[in-house]
Amino acid sequence: MTTIPEGEHDQRPAYFELRFRPNVELVSVVRRFVSAFYERIIHDLEVTERLAMVTHELLENAVKYSSDGETLLSIEVDQVGTPRNVLVRTKNRTTAENRSIVKERFQEANAAPDMFAYYQELMRRASTRTEGSGLGLGRIRSEADMSVDFAIEGEELTIDARTTISAVVAA
């Protein structure tokens, strides 16, 4: 255990991990909880709103596509340095079919020369289907201005959303 000298702020990233079986109601409960977490360490309502939206979208995806229902959510926010890094990560097991869809969506998004035009295309797609349009991931990139990446290890899918923010005020 590291002891922080009196009068000094802990300079390690603010961090938490939550392993749970999200359902539709719990996604909203966790979004409200992480909003409070973000608000406490980032005194910026707009950044808080962005990060809460991203967390919600990633968890909704996990609810839809996790093969055993379990998801690990981890959030890390730097408290020192400029700019400060923020990472929102979900990790869950998913089927081969879903892993392949995710790969396809990422390849498509990464190849898109214009993210807003691609987002408009996802909106067109979402108007004709109820599932799997990729709108949630598109929204993270286009509306929350976060980069999104994925990794697959066996059956496990990890999705990382990252951004940098200009100011974090430690509580």
Q: Which residues bind other proteins (CB under 8 A)?
A: 24-25, 27-28, 31, 46, 49-50, 52-53, 56-57, 60, 116, 119-120, 123-124, 126-128, 130, 133, 135-136, 139, 142-144
From the number of C-beta atoms within 10 Å of its C-beta (0-12, 13-18, 19+), residue 93 rates as middle
Q: At its nearest, how many Å lie between other proteins and the CB of residue 56?
A: 6
Residue 13 or 62 having the CB closest to other proteins: 62
Sign, CA torsion 76/93/103/153:
positive
Taking alpha carbons only, the member of 30, 28, 5, 6 closest to residue 17 is 30
Q: At its nearest, how many Å lie between other proteins and the CB of residue 126?
A: 5
Q: At its nearest, how many Å lie between other proteins and the CB of residue 108?
A: 17
Residue 44 or 156 having the CB closest to other proteins: 44
Contact predicate 123/108, CB 8 Å: no
